[in-house]
Amino acid sequence: MSGQLKGEKVYHGIAVSAGVCRGRVIVLRRTRHVVAKRTLALDAVEPEVRRFEHALVRTRQQITEIQRRVSQTMSSSEADIFDAHLLMLEDRVLIEEVIKIIREQMANADYAFHTASDRYIAVLAEVEDEYLRERAADLRDLSSRVLDNLLEVKELFDLRHLSEPCLLIGHDLSPSTTAQLDKKFVLGFATDIGGRTSHTAILARSLDIPAVVGLKNLSDDLETGDYVLLDGYNGTITVNPTDQTLFEYGQLAKVKASLEEKLREVQHQSAVTLDGKIIHLSANIESLDDVEAVLAHGAEGVGLFRTEFLFINRASLPTEEEQFQVYRQVAEALKPHSVIIRTLDLGGDKFASHLQLAQEMNPFLGWRAIRFCLAQPELFCAQLRAILRASASGNIKMMYPMISGLDELNQANALVARCKAELRAENIPFAENLEIGAMIEIPSAALIADALAKRVHFFSIGSNDLIQYTLAADRTNEKVSHLYEPTHPAILRLIKMTVDAAHANGIWAGVCGEIAGDPVLAPLLIGLGVDELSAAPAVLDEMKYIIRRIKLTEAQALAAQAMQVDSPTEIFAHCLEFARSTAPSLFENKM
Ligand code: PEP
Ligand code: MG
């Protein structure tokens, strides 16, 4: 029974990853410490000093334990970060100041520590030296841990070490947290904010964990231990589901099981239309671990390898050698299919905490992807060299994210030429004719696609960003999700312009944004002339199922009709009607 809610209650949000699950929830709250001043009796002062010292000892034990666990599972550099915390714990100036406040003001330890550490943090945050300024964040972390111990706040859930299946509920989950979720124990998750193409949602689909976002104040209403049912098809969370609701979902599970059987039949067949048009269907991946799913769903290689996930959730940058090993292993595992490695796309909603980048007002419009890489040639060249070295396997291609114009493309290519020259001089093998593509995800790139097409081997349309940048609708913000319309005529025109420019110049064009994995939109994209679709491995079976039921000529007629319509809703309705009538089984799991 819910802590605050009695009886069944349904919350509506945005469905971002398919599947239904139910169970007890863990509500992830950020700890907010309420620290009030209390005046102590004279004989309580020295015990309070001891309570403070005990909290320091306890904190030291916890940090040492975390450090031990981290060094077992990760490189020692990750574990080293905790050395700084341990050193701060021994800072005599801070400790003596706290004891002085306890004794002189006869104040409680939590108040004394909070006051002293806040003063320290404020001073550190103001200093000119960047290194010292960054220590303010470490001290904030540490002081929060000491306060947890003084106030006896329970440890925040360590998501890497869950021991029982649960559903996670939070105001938000960052892509870096989502990337760490253990599929064995996290049945599903739901957040108050977020959009369908936020990287958190993309990761949920990639991990094949049911998820719903944009549930407004769900996390305030729920308590850890509440029982909920999460429906990742229809975007709902039902708290305290009744027997009737559970029965209805039981029926749904039967429908789903029979669909899965049908989908298994096409899993290892090719994605070919009834009139013989072969669509190259490949997978989007984030790590080496995803290769298994790529093979299981019969994808023809990888159309997008988001390499930035190699850079986050760690204390330092991956070396060239480390990257080379990952790229090489992915390529070897998927031979003879090709693997398109996208160069680093940090920024936007994906950050590497160890890079300590300044916060920006508009991160999606700021220092992201190729812009960031061109400004950090050393970091970029380490990746380019790693990709080039791995390309000796013969099945690697590479593409740049966020190309906005020719200059960026030329600059990136110049760095590739430099890395190639270095490798030649070092006698290190690589594919001399490595194919390089540009992602088309900024309207300016689509508008000059004819010029770009003459300088690359292929295009990959990043519709997630192309939609957000064309319609000025933040892909992570549920408040503008109604404006984020893939079937907006402006999007269709930009896609068509890109595909036509590619074909006029003898190159191919694919789509690797989330619309490429939507069976409702696939016929439209195929009708617009798209040659390749790349999507999360788990959705590829449905894609094959529908592609094998349509004719290219019908898809072309659908696209031609859509290009004549002004209303995004109407275009979507045409697509839905077409998909429903072609593959009704795919829609039977809608409540
Ligand atoms: C896109 O923008 O569509 C894309 C595939 O890249 P990402 O989602 O990683 O930004
Ligand atoms: Mg993108």
Query: What is the position in ligand 1's atom list of the atom closest to the CA of 401?
Result: 6
Collect all residues with Cβ–Cβ distance below 8 Å to 591 and sequence separation of at least 6: 231, 233, 234, 236, 248, 252
Question: pLDDT at position 443, please?
Answer: 98
Q: Which residues of 417-455 are buried (b: 16+ CB within 10 A; e: fewer)?
A: eebbeebeeeeeebbeebbbbbbbbbbebbbbbeebbee
> Which structural domain range is residue 294 located in?
272-356+370-586
Residue 260 located in a structural domain: no
pLDDT at 70 over 60: no
Pairing mode, if any, of strands 508-511 and 458-461? parallel
Question: pLDDT at position 1, please?
Answer: 44
- What SS3 state is found at 191? strand
Residue 13 tokens read as: 């949000």
Sole residue written with tokens 């429906």: 231
What are the C-alpha distances in Å from 20 to residues 76, 251, 311? 39, 12, 31
CATH code for position 174: 3.50.30.10
Q: Which of 439, 442, 468 for mutating ligand 1's site (highest number of atoms within 8 Å of CB)?
A: 439
Could you tell me if the CB of 195 is within 6 A of ligand 1?
no
Which comes out higher in pLDDT, residue 58 or 387? 387
Could you tell me if the CB of 349 is within 6 A of ligand 1?
no
How far is the C-alpha of 108 from the C-alpha of 118, rounded, in Å?
16
pLDDT at 134 over 70: no
Could you tell me if the CB of 468 is within 6 A of ligand 1?
no
Residue 339 tokens read as: 């693997």
The answer to whether 397 touches 340, Cβ cutoff 8 Å, is yes
Q: Which residues of 83-108 are buried (b: 16+ CB within 10 A; e: fewer)?
A: eebeebbeeeebbebbbebbeeeebb
Number of helices (H) and strands (E) in the chain: give both, helices first. 22, 16
Residue 405 located in a structural domain: yes
The percentage of the chain sitting over the pLDDT mark of 90, rounded to a whole number, equals 74
Q: Note the Cα 33 to chain centre separation in Å.
A: 29
Which comes out higher in pLDDT, residue 180 or 363? 363
Q: CA 390, 205, 551: angle at the middle one, nearest 5?
A: 90
| Judgement on whether residues 509 and 568 belong to the same structural domain of the protein | yes
Residue 265 located in a structural domain: no
- pLDDT-derived band at 155, boundaries 50, 70, 90: very low
Average pLDDT, the chain: 91
pLDDT at 434 over 50: yes
CATH code for position 484: 3.20.20.60
Question: pLDDT at position 76, please?
Answer: 59
pLDDT at 186 over 50: yes
Question: pLDDT at position 74, please?
Answer: 47
Pairing mode, if any, of strands 166-170 and 186-191? parallel
Residue 121 located in a structural domain: yes
- Give 162-174 pLDDT, tens digit per residue: 778 999 999 988 8
| Judgement on whether residues 226 and 276 belong to the same structural domain of the protein | no
How close is the Cα of 421 to the center of ligand 1, in Å? Answer: 31
Which comes out higher in pLDDT, residue 281 or 58? 281
The region of weakest confidence among 77-91, 453-467, 563-577 is: 77-91
Residue 266 located in a structural domain: no
| Judgement on whether residues 320 and 185 belong to the same structural domain of the protein | no
How far is the C-alpha of 379 from the C-alpha of 323, rounded, in Å?
12
Sole residue written with tokens 């898809």: 555
Collect all residues with Cβ–Cβ distance below 8 Å to 579 and sequence separation of at least 6: 519, 520, 522, 523, 546, 586, 587
| Judgement on whether residues 422 and 568 belong to the same structural domain of the protein | yes
Among 194, 226, 241, give the residue marking a domain's end: 241
What are the C-alpha distances in Å from 255 to residues 16, 259, 297, 411, 588? 20, 6, 21, 53, 7
The percentage of the chain sitting over the pLDDT mark of 70, rounded to a whole number, equals 93
The region of weakest confidence among 159-163, 208-212, 532-536, 561-565 is: 159-163
Q: Number of folded domains in the chain?
A: 3
Predicted TM-score (pTM) of this structure: 0.79
The region of weakest confidence among 11-15, 123-127, 441-445, 519-523 is: 123-127
| Judgement on whether residues 538 and 459 belong to the same structural domain of the protein | yes
Could you tell me if the CB of 303 is within 6 A of ligand 1?
no
Question: pLDDT at position 95, please?
Answer: 94
Pairing mode, if any, of strands 280-285 and 532-535? parallel
| Judgement on whether residues 218 and 83 belong to the same structural domain of the protein | no
| Judgement on whether residues 207 and 307 belong to the same structural domain of the protein | no
Among 151, 170, 203, give the residue marking a domain's end: 151
Residue 251 located in a structural domain: no
pLDDT at 265 over 90: yes
CATH code for position 118: 1.10.274.10
pLDDT at 361 over 50: yes
Query: What is the position in ligand 1's atom list of the atom closest to the CA of 284?
Result: 5
pLDDT at 585 over 90: yes
DSSP code per residue over 45-66: HHHHHHHHHHHHHHHHHHHHHH
pLDDT at 62 over 80: no
Query: Residue 463: phi, psi to the nearest 5?
Result: -65, -25
| Judgement on whether residues 20 and 58 belong to the same structural domain of the protein | no
Residue 591 located in a structural domain: no
How far is the C-alpha of 445 from the C-alpha of 466, rounded, in Å?
10
The region of weakest confidence among 175-189, 226-240, 533-547 is: 175-189
Which comes out higher in pLDDT, residue 163 or 273? 273
Query: What is the position in ligand 1's atom list of the atom closest to the CA of 466?
Result: 2
Among 202, 219, 241, give the residue marking a domain's end: 241
Residue 174 located in a structural domain: yes
| Judgement on whether residues 228 and 286 belong to the same structural domain of the protein | no
- What SS3 state is found at 227? strand
Q: Which ligand lies nearest to the CA atom of residue 195 in the structure?
A: 1
| Judgement on whether residues 174 and 310 belong to the same structural domain of the protein | no
| Judgement on whether residues 215 and 339 belong to the same structural domain of the protein | no
Helices marked H in 307-431 — which ranges?
320-334, 369-375, 377-390, 406-425
DSSP state of 315: S
pLDDT at 312 over 60: yes
- Give 535-547 pLDDT, tens digit per residue: 999 999 999 999 9
How far is the C-alpha of 415 from the C-alpha of 378, rounded, in Å?
10
| Judgement on whether residues 126 and 173 belong to the same structural domain of the protein | no
- CA-derived radius of gyration, the chain: 26
End-to-end Cα separation, the chain, in angstroms: 24
Strand order in the sheet with 211-213: 9-12, 236-239, 227-231, 20-28, 166-170, 186-191, 211-213, 14-17
pLDDT at 75 over 60: no
Among all residues, which ones are annotated catalytic?
199, 512
Residue 273 tokens read as: 């239309």
Among residues 332, 169, 236, 278, the alpha carbon closest in space to that of 8 is found at: 236
How far is the C-alpha of 464 from the C-alpha of 516, rounded, in Å?
10
How close is the Cα of 514 to the center of ligand 1, in Å? Answer: 8
The answer to whether 271 touches 279, Cβ cutoff 8 Å, is yes
Question: pLDDT at position 87, please?
Answer: 83
- What SS3 state is found at 556? helix
Question: pLDDT at position 351, please?
Answer: 80
The answer to whether 173 touches 202, Cβ cutoff 8 Å, is no
